[in-house]
């Protein structure tokens, strides 16, 4: 149970990092749109 939950957390962290990398590549207006939709 513990391993499964930590695995899910790793997936969530990886997903967040991927989104953050996409945001950094985008322009400021894109970033604003992301936070509004988030």
Element (H, E) at 4: helix 2-25
Q: Angle at which helices 2-25 and 28-37 pack, to 10 degrees? A: 140
pLDDT exceeds cutoff 60 at 1: no
The tens digit of pLDDT for each residue in 8-27 reads 999 999 999 998 888 777 66
pLDDT exceeds cutoff 90 at 31: no
pTM, rounded to two decimals: 0.48
DSSP character for 34?
A: H
pLDDT attached to residue 28: 65
């Amino acid at each position: 149970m513990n391993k499964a939950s930590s695995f899910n957390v790793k997936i969530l962290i990886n997903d967040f990092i991927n989104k953050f990398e996409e945001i950094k590549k985008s322009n400021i207006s894109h970033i604003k749109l992301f936070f509004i939709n988030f």
